Every structure is written in C-alpha cells, then in structure tokens.
Chains A and B, each alone.
Chain A
Amino acid sequence: MYIPHTEKDKEEMLKAIGAASFEDLVKQVPSGFLWPKFDLPQESLDESQAAARLAELSKKNCRPLNFVGAGAYERYTPAAVKAITSRTEFLTAYTPYQPEASQGTLQAIYEFQSTVCALYGMDCANASMYDGASSFAEAVRATVRVTGRRKIVYSAGVHPQYMDTLKTYFAHSPDYTYVKVPMKDGVMDREALPALLEGAACLAVQTPNFLGLIEDMDGVSALVKKAGALLVAASDPVSLGVLKTPGEYGADFAVGEGQSLGLPLAYGGPYLGLFSCKKEHVRQMPGRFVLTLQAREQHIRRDKAASNICSNEALCALAATVYAALLGPEGMRELAEANMGAAAHAAERLAGIKGCSLKFKGPFFNEFVLSVPGSAAAMREKALGQGVDIGLPLAPLYPELGETLLVCATEARTEADIARLEKAVREAI
C-alpha cells in the first residue's frame, strides 16, 4: 500500500471538512452498494514476497535461443536508453497539457517526429500510435478519407495481424472491399497491379514483407498514381538503415513498428506505432503531434487533432529517439547490415541441411522462409526441448506455402548461436 495517511491524519482532515465520518462523504452512494464482500486475498504481499512471486512467474517463461521475428524483433537495449527512459521526470509526467512545464517531453517528441521522418524519408510524422498495426490501419483510413474510395488493395505480404486490425477498424462499415495482390515468388505480383488498382483508395505494401523478402518498389508509385490511388508502405525502421526509403520510392504514407528501435519484446507491448506522410497529407495525420514555429528557441507546442486518442506511446517514442541518436546514421547502417548478415548466414547454414531449402530466391532482410521436411510445428516443439526456438511455422497463416518456418536472425545472434540453430533443426527433423 502506498498511502501516507495515519488514522490521526484522516481524523483531522475529516474534521477540517466538517464531516462527522467518512460515511458522510459517500452518502451519495446508496449504502447497499458500499463495502461488498470480495473473494480476494485478505492479506497483501510485502515487497520481498511480491518480488519472489513475480520472479517465480517470470522463471516459468522459458528463455530459448530465439529465431522468431514476424513483426517483433529481439534487440539489445543499450544501457543509455534505459538510463534516459527511467528518468522519473519523463517516466512519471502526464501528456503535456501545460506546455511550459513539459518542454522536455515536447522537445523529445519533436525530435522523435524528426527521427521518423529521417528514417522513412518522409515530410512529417506524428507523436506515435499504439503500435505498427494501428499505424497501418490509420494510414489506410486516411487514404479512404482523401480519395473517397472504399476499395483497399494490399499485398499478400502485409503482416496478417495488421490486416486483422485494419478489418476491425473498419468493422462498422460493411461496404469496404479488400483485394489481395497475389504473391509471386514471395513478393507481390507486379503484373497484377494495374487491373487490381482500378478504383482503389490505396495500395498497401509491407517491405520487407511478412516473409522477410524485400519488395522491389521501383515504379510502383507511378502505377498507383495512375490509378488515382495512394501508396501506403509499412517498413521495419531498422531495415531503412540500408533499404530504399518510402520517401524515395514515392509513398504517400509510411508506417512501421517502432519496437525494433531498442524496445523489449515484452509479449506484445508496449510497442510504438510510427506514422509519417507526405506534406500534402499533414491534415490527415491521426492522434497528436508536436509542432514548432521556432525550433531553435524550442517554442514547441502541442496540437490536438480530431481523434479519440489520448494516451499514445510517448515513453516508447523517447526510447526510440535516444536509440537512433546513439546509433546515428552510421550506426543505423551497421545495425541494418548486421541483421542482413546474420540472416544471410543463418539461411546459408540451414539451406545446407538435407531436406531443407529456402522457399524463395529473392533478397531478404533479417528473416526468410525455410521449407522443411515434415511438420514445421512438430519440429518447433522438438527444438524447444533443446532450448532453441527455430522459427514460426507458417502453415496456419499461409497454407499454400506448405511445411515452412519463418526464421529470423537479428544483430543479437552470433555465429555460435546460428551453429546451435543449425544443430537444433537437424535434430528436430
């Protein structure tokens, strides 16, 4: 319990209030509702007991050597990031309602927006969304508002949970249609685009896509523009340390999951929705953003947009901003290359196992699809017994790919780790 009041304090305060007892204060609550019976522990735990309980629970989670990515990536969080995000002046502040007393948070958000723009090559960004999926859904919604069209064309490589979230966001309006661009060699079939884009609000593409493959975006925006539609790109921000940016290939909206920028996996959140767009769509940005007329003098202000969102993910945005500042442009390139290199090495090792092969030939970033002999789900379970999570079985999501694993290796994986992966896969067959 974290309450300072002694019995004497309470008595004195009630006396100052002029109430005979606490019950006087809550007479507005019909007494039949007050102080019901709760079937809950009658004793709380002291801090060391609670710590023991939590430690016990945390140890019930196993800690395999992890090769699962699929939209959430294992990253080393630098000590300097934790040092800043645990500054209580950031941690325990509210949304900046009093700008004069929130200049720290406001400038940090301005720097976050600028960081997102720099990575994605876009003109403007907002102060963050709940996660990559909600950023994606909001971007598609914006294209519907701009074009007045209700046909959403998306590549088959968009994260399935992003599509689920999008469909939930549109659940109240049954007149939306969703058209999937078929897959060819693991990437979207460009030939199919012109016909499908007719009358579309947008083309939504994820690259690197859910299967890890890098989509060739050259010329795509011209096709989209020709159809009067808008281009939405979803990208892992770390991949943009080396890959062509959404800005460079002409995306109207660019979004992503900011967890990649040094945030812990934490079983799904809190994560960080990145949302950016071209200048002409600035009024379509959902949520809130920080703006300034005189950046040098930090006269930074908050603006409220017409949206129901109050809390976003400010502290996660701060973590991502510090992470990117620590790395700088060179570090971001090194990080992206280390991911590519680790995944390339893992792919090479696993493809050498008898019965295993790479499902696709195209260039990939930090994950790839491995065809395996026999049940991928059974292999995963078997390898978990050896302490290695060898990848995500894709059959439930992409039955057409057969028995396959989506295998991810980030910069956190070493050559020795990958040797363990290879051994675990061999033994799981």
Chain B
Amino acid sequence: MICLSALDNRLSVEKSDPGRRGLQIKNPLRAKACLRPELRRNARPKLPEMSEFDVIRHYTRLSRLNFSVDTHFYPLGSCTMKYNPRFNEEAASLEGFAALHPLAHDDCAQGTLELLHDLGSRLNELLGLDALTLQPAAGAHSEFTGLLVAKAYFESRGEERDEIIVPDSAHGTNPATASMMGFNTVNLASRPDGRLDLETLRKHLGPKTAVLMMTVPNTLGIFETQISEICKAAHEAGALVYMDGANLNALIGMVKPGELGIDMMHLNFHKTFSTPHGGGGPGAGAIVCRKALEPFLPVPLVKKEGGRFVSDFGDGKSVGKVKAFFGNTGVLVKAYAYMLAHSVKEFGEIAKCSIINANYARSLLMALYPSYSKEYCMHECVLTPGPDLTAKGVRTLDVAKGLLDRGFHAPTVYFPLIVNEAIMIEPTETESKETLDEFVAAMKEIHALGVSDPQALKDAPKTMPVKRLDEVQAARQPNLRW
C-alpha cells in the first residue's frame, strides 16, 4: 500500500487552520442580502477551514486507501463489479444533460426525454416486457416500487392478497421489502440442488398469494430449470411473479426474462449496465413489467406524442411518486451510452463470457474450495473452505482477508445464508483469463498457508492501512461525527 505520515492520518476538520480559505463566493449581489438577526444562526458551522490544495491532498490521500474496480480485481458476488467505461462518465457530464432542471418545460427537455424513451423501448425489447418506470434510485427501491405496483394492481381488481412467497435462494432484500410493505412473507426452503420445489410451491400458493419473488439466476448462481412451470403455477393461483434482476448479467442478450413467464422485474443499472457504484451509490433502478401493470407505475412516464416527447402523468391509477422529480437521470444517461455500445450479439457475449469466467474460476478452485452446487454455474459460483481448512479452524473471513493482502478484493462472503461459510465469486465478463489465473493462484496460496500456518491467515490483513477490524464491537458507543 502507501506510506502514511502520522500527521496525515487525521480528519479534515483536524487539518483546519482558523482563517484559512478555500473557495470564495464574490458575487457582488451578496451586498443586497438582508436578514433579521433573530432568523440568523448563532453558531458558525463546525466545518474545516482549509485551502483548496489542503482539500485536494486530503481526499486524494483518502482515495488511495480504497480498493476499487479500476485498481483491483473485485469478484464480489451478486454485485457485478464490471469495468465502468469512461465514455459513460463523459456522456453524463455533457452540459446539455447535466444542467437540465428537473422542472424544465418539456420543450426544453426533448433530448433527455428522447434518450429516456429510447432507453426504455430498447430495455423492453431486451427483456421481452412491455412497459417500465425509471424512477427508482436503486435495486431495493425498485423492489419497493414493484410491490407497490402489485398492491395497486390487486386493489384495482378488488382482490385482497397479503402474502409474498420468497424462496430462501432469493436476495435478502426481497423479504425485507415485503415486510416493509406490510405483506406477510412466506419463506420457501429450496431443494438440495438449490432450486425451488414445484410441489412445495403449489402447496403454498393460494388466494392470499400476491407475489412470488424470485432471483433469476438465484443466489447460488443457478437457473430455475422449471421456471415456466413455476410461473404457470403462480398464475393459476392468481399471483404475480416478480423477478429480482440483480443477476441479469447472466441472461442479457441470451434469454428474454419476459418469455420465462415473469410479470415484472427490476434492473440495477449499476450492475448489468456498467454504471459505477461510487462506493455505495448512486445507482439507478427500474421496474419493467407487462402491459396490465403499466397503469400503476410511478409517474411521470415518458411518452411519444407525434414527433414530440412528453412527461405523462397517467390517468390517476399510478401508485404516485417514489422519489421527487424524474429519477436518477444522470445515471440513466450512462446506461444509455453503454446501450449504444452494444449490439444484440454483443449483449449476448456479456452473458456468455460472464458465465465462462465464473465456471473457469469454479473449476480451477473446486478441488480446494468445494462448490456448493454440483453442476455448472451461471455468472457466479458459491464455494466453501474445504475440510482441510476447516480442520485447522480457518474460516471464510480469513480467506477473504488473505485475499486483501494479495491485492484482490474479497468475494461476497457468508452469503447466501443457505450455504455455510459461503464464498460467492462473480468475476464478470470484463476480466481476462490472466486476471482469473492470478486470482486462482492467490486462492491456492491462501489454501496452502491456511493448512501450514493457520495463525498467519488469522492475522491477515497485514498490508492494509488498518488491521482486521472487529465488526461487532463498534456499535456499543457510537461516535457518528466530529
């Protein structure tokens, strides 16, 4: 890593020097400001007083303490940490897009509206569905939106359905969203092969079932082979099928989710469509659905009327707004740039190479790290530390920290919960064979070290700016600010 001076190792506010200035605002109209004293704040805000250079050096230093996709292989399962093309960033920063006010008159927003309309039509076709909203800010926000839409749909039909069925192979946000929305969650245990059991599902489907929420491929990285039958069974019970689209990278351009029989799904543009994660956002989401659900989508939607694009506020059936204004448009511009850079065949190549990469890592590692599933995986695989490691007390967390010392971000660990000590690896299609070979070599080295000197692995990481952090202790006496 980097050499840190002790003096550098401080918060911005601790580098403050009273009276030192960075940015100044000299607009002469300031002189016209006038405010009664009783409306003024008494105390000055405790913000750092730094020069611009101080600020740049401080945050540049912080940036160097991070692992990122550009600096490190980042095989975080379910997160699709693919390369974020620079071109996307440039597209979003075009002044015409970046400076557009969200309440601009439609006549002034024709470029953005056309972009959103084209993005929407292409997505509908790519996914084999009919309509969409681009308002949700992220994946979980999309799930919330999707369930709102489902609720409104059943209400419009006078049906009272309050149950959501969630297989244990689905993302953890699915049940969290369901309970947040006041639904009763029915958890379904999966079969030993990790798939949903059709007969068990049939037993749980009924007049109370509103939605079956599935992650496709599921969190074990495998495809629900009986998905048609599953969707049919749900539909026969009058329920809707929701697909968590976080794992769409495995299917894009190769399978149309709409043809599988699902009724709606969400997208994470910051996964499949290559927009950067920014250390935890901003993302952007979407709910893509069948025609019958369209009237309930959040407003506004973008419509084309004649040669003109308009924001359409629907006919009053909409669930309303899930956030102010249109959506995370700046992120959607990046996704559109990515869309333009791919033909149908090239989208299919994404699915193909992401699947090849995951299977390549799996097959080279499974002798030392047994794979939970005995069959080929889709875009990600779930491995575990083998008996020779567990016999020495080596846990998944130790493997993860060992990887940090070797210059790799750790895979997703301890998820999915149905696998004990899970190590979930998603290389994505943008990583080369050489990178995977290096990663495999590091995993083998960690295995050898774990067997010969387990304590050395328990002491990892040794090369990071901080030692291994105790995840439990911190919450006792929270310190949340300077």
Contacts and interface: CB of A to CB of B under 8 A. Distances in A.
B432 A97 contact: no
Interface string B258-297: 0110000000001000101111111110000000000000
B24 A313 contact: no
Interface string A298-323: 11010100111111111110100110
Contact of B349 (A1, A119, A171, A339): A1
B380 to A, nearest CB: 13
A102 B76 CA distance: 14
Interface stretch (B198-206, B221-229, B234-242): B221-229
Nearest to B56: A80
A43 to B, nearest CB: 5
B441 interface: no
A41 B343 contact: yes
A19 B20 CA distance: 65
B280 A2 contact: no
A152 B182 CA distance: 19
Nearest to B477: A293
B103 interface: yes
B30 A363 contact: no
A104 B323 contact: no
Contacts of B43: 121, 245, 248
Given A311-B139, A331-B21, 18 more contacts: A2-B274, A2-B429, A5-B429, A16-B364, A57-B115, A60-B110, A95-B279, A100-B465, A103-B464, A107-B62, A117-B481, A130-B138, A242-B40, A248-B41, A291-B475, A293-B479, A313-B137, A334-B25
A47 B341 CA distance: 7
Interface in A372-429: 380-381, 384, 389, 392, 411, 413-415, 418
B278 A90 contact: yes
B189 interface: no
Interface in A47-91: 47, 49-51, 53-64, 66, 68, 70-72, 74, 78, 80, 83-84, 86-91
Interface in B114-151: 114-115, 122, 125-126, 128, 137-141, 143-144, 148, 151
A68 B103 contact: yes
Given A25-B376, A86-B89, A103-B65, A115 B47 contact: yes
Contact of A318 (B260, B279, B343): B279
B182 A172 contact: yes
Interface residues on A, range: 35 or more
A58 B108 CA distance: 11
Contact of B430 (A2, A44, A341): A2
Contact of B280 (A50, A63, A70, A95): A95
Contacts of B467: 100
3 nearest A-B residue pairs (beta carbon) = A58-B96, A315-B278, A268-B325
A162 B68 contact: no
A26 interface: yes
Interface in B328-349: 328-331, 333, 336-337, 340-346, 348-349
A293 B62 CA distance: 19
B11 to A, nearest CB: 6
Contact of B47 (A40, A214, A248, A327): A327
Given A33-B259, A105-B66, A328-B47, A168 B319 contact: yes
Contact of A27 (B45, B72, B108, B376): B376
A111 B126 CA distance: 42
A411 B279 contact: no
Given A36-B256, A161-B321, A299-B466, A266 B330 contact: yes
Contacts of A324: 47
A139 interface: no
Chain B interface mostly helix, strand, loop or mixed? Answer: loop
Nearest to B364: A16
A133 B49 contact: no
Nearest to B28: A415
A36 B116 CA distance: 25
A257 B324 CA distance: 10
Nearest to B321: A164
B315 interface: no
B324 A167 contact: no
Interface string B391-425: 00000000011001000011010000000000000
B12 interface: yes
Interface stretch (A6-14, A198-206, A352-360): A6-14
A105 B280 contact: yes
A88 B27 contact: no
Contact of A168 (B42, B79, B122, B320): B320
A243 B40 contact: yes
Contacts of B93: 264
Contact of B323 (A269, A291, A345, A363): A269
A143 interface: no
Interface stretch (B31-39, B382-390, B447-455): B31-39
B122 A40 contact: yes
26 contacts: A1-B341, A2-B430, A5-B353, A28-B375, A38-B344, A59-B96, A84-B60, A89-B70, A91-B89, A92-B69, A96-B280, A99-B469, A118-B46, A118-B481, A121-B41, A124-B481, A168-B298, A168-B320, A269-B284, A269-B329, A269-B331, A295-B482, A303-B475, A306-B176, A329-B47, A340-B33
A44 B346 contact: yes
B39 A243 contact: yes
Nearest to B354: A3
B207 interface: no
B246 to A, nearest CB: 10
Nearest to B151: A172
A97 B76 contact: yes
Given A86-B89, A101-B409, A108-B62, A72 B325 contact: yes
A110 B11 contact: yes
Contacts of B430: 2-4
A3 B429 contact: yes
Contacts of A389: 101, 104-105, 108
A5 B341 contact: no
B96 A269 contact: no
A292 B10 CA distance: 13
B363 A340 contact: no
B196 to A, nearest CB: 13
B111 A72 contact: no
Contact of B356 (A10, A41, A295): A10
Contact of B376 (A28, A271, A331, A344): A28
A59 B115 CA distance: 12
Residue among A50, A101, A133, A333 with max Cβ neighbours from chain B (10 Å): A101
Contacts of B56: 80, 83-84
A266 B98 CA distance: 4
B456 interface: no
B282 A269 contact: yes
A383 to B, nearest CB: 10
B109 A267 contact: yes
A97 B279 CA distance: 10
Given A61-B111, A172-B151, A89 B95 contact: no
Contacts of B465: 100, 103, 298
B303 to A, nearest CB: 16
B113 to A, nearest CB: 9
B105 A380 contact: yes
Contacts of A57: 96-97, 111-112, 114-115
B280 A164 contact: no
Contacts of A211: none
Contacts of A172: 148, 151, 181-182
B278 A91 contact: yes
